[in-house]
Amino acid sequence: MSAPAPAFDPGSVRAFRFAGARADWATGEVRLGYALEPGHAFTETFRFPLPAGSPPDPARRWALDAAVRLLHLVAGVSYYKAAVPPRIEVEGEPPSPEAARALERLWRGGLAEFAWRNRLPGVGRAIAFPAGRPAPEAAPTLGAGPRSLVPVGGGKDSVVSLAALARAGEDVLAFSVGRKASADAAARIEAVPMLHVERELDPALFALNRAGALNGHVPVTAIVTCAAIVAALLHGCDAVVMSNERSASAGSFEWPEYGGVVNHQHSKGWGSERDLAELVRREVAGDLRVFSLLRPWSELAISRAFAALPEHHGTFMSCNRVFRIDRPAASGWCGECPKCRFVFLALAPFTPREALVGTFGRDLLDDPAGEDGYRAILGIDADKPFECVGEVDEARAAMRALAASPQWAGAAIVERLGPLAGPPDPGAVAPWLTPAGEHAIPERHLRAAGALLGP
């Protein structure tokens, strides 16, 4: 029997260091180095599929190296959080002041849930990146033709984005970090090629977690976005099209001690999208657009659009419990997490009850055991859950519409919680179906989205 690993004391770590990044554009392998000082070194590896043909020209190579640098800086959060040391160091040239400030906003907001769960209110104010020379006004342009790379997780949101662009005749590449049957099915149904990128976190991080390292939620969407930027440059795309909705910007609660709002979806929010897009424009490629196709729409509007895509109903998967980075993916909806419950609720006003129950394998609105979970989703004596769910008010709108629906009014959860959400109203969801708010969607993409989601 092997001896147990020695205990790890996060307080013994004096600094987190970015220890260099290396990219091999002959193989597509990218290796990102990190260290917790003293004594703990890590290497995270990405493997990108390469296009057929010659290696990248000097201009694209420069942009790729800049994109890898951005990926390196963003992905480091997974290792920093093991100890949240008081100092951040960068080997070689520090990031520009613009990048340093954007990274601080991303890490502070993206680690707020982690800090809340670990009772570390000081983390938000402690994160400080060193800064070097200012960034140029804009990076060189690459002149790529109209081609969109769409990260696909296999849930309803990315399915809607993929379908909107594919059915509008856009030249589309689907993209996935790792392999998911639901993501592959979405690309297959829309007849879109799929790029799979392999990501391998250093096993030493998992060993450190078992030995006592701090652990918790990180801004993973930002990491996926940065990996997608690298893939987009390799494959000649002019757009990285995310699928983050309007409600992703709404947090769960204010935490004054931390210095901001705790939002599980911080890196999906409008502020993070805007920061990353601006960094790409200034420091990677001046004509590569990074944006969310769904930004102006609510979860309910996206659910209505997805309900009109029945060919995807048997293959999509929005439950995050089946996707764990430290174990093989499970199959089927767990039916017990906030994501399952919210997606069921959001689809119910637009989907026949029998069909929805068939998709999930059970009726989540007729299960009394789910009442506490739905109370949190509806903001009844509880905060919005730490999950990718919609706003409390739109969840209540969906519940009010169901309470007025003959097919749903008798469901146990609707009977119990409907009156607490407000008076029954068959038109309660209507105000949530109209796009609103800021976005950065180019005109050709906006036309495609509007055709599926409505004006």
Instruction: Give the model confidence (pLDDT) of 279-328 as tens digits.
Output: 999 999 999 999 999 999 999 999 999 999 999 999 999 887 665 554 44
Q: Is the pLDDT of residue 97 over 60?
A: yes
Q: Does 226 lie in the same domain as 157?
A: yes
Mean pLDDT confidence for 357-366: 94
| Calpha distance 123→112 (Å, rounded) | 8
Average pLDDT across the chain, whole number = 93
Tokens of 100: 């340093």
What's the structural domain count of the chain? 2
DSSP 453: H
Is residue 327 in a domain?
yes
Q: Does 396 lie in the same domain as 275?
A: no
Is residue 455 in a domain?
no
DSSP 336: S
106 touches 250 (CB < 8 A): no
Q: Does 223 lie in the same domain as 116?
A: yes
Cβ contacts of residue 140 below 8 Å, gap of 6+?
59, 62, 63, 285, 286
Please write the tens of the pLDDT for every residue from 242-276.
Answer: 999 998 998 888 899 898 889 888 999 999 999 99
Cis peptide before 58 (omega within 30 of 0): no
Q: Does 283 lie in the same domain as 417?
A: no
Higher per-residue pLDDT: 129 or 126: 129
Mean pLDDT confidence for 18-38: 95
Q: Indicate the range of 80-84, 225-229, 253-257 predicted with least confidence.
A: 253-257
Q: Is the pLDDT of residue 50 over 80?
A: yes
| Calpha distance 44→23 (Å, rounded) | 12
- Tell whether pTM > 0.85: yes
Q: Is the pLDDT of residue 1 over 50?
A: no
Predicted pLDDT of residue 4: 58
Q: Does 323 lie in the same domain as 180?
A: no
Residue 148 identity:
S
Q: Does 346 lie in the same domain as 277?
A: no
Mean pLDDT confidence for 6-27: 94
159 touches 316 (CB < 8 A): yes
Structural domain span for residue 406: 317-433
214 touches 131 (CB < 8 A): no
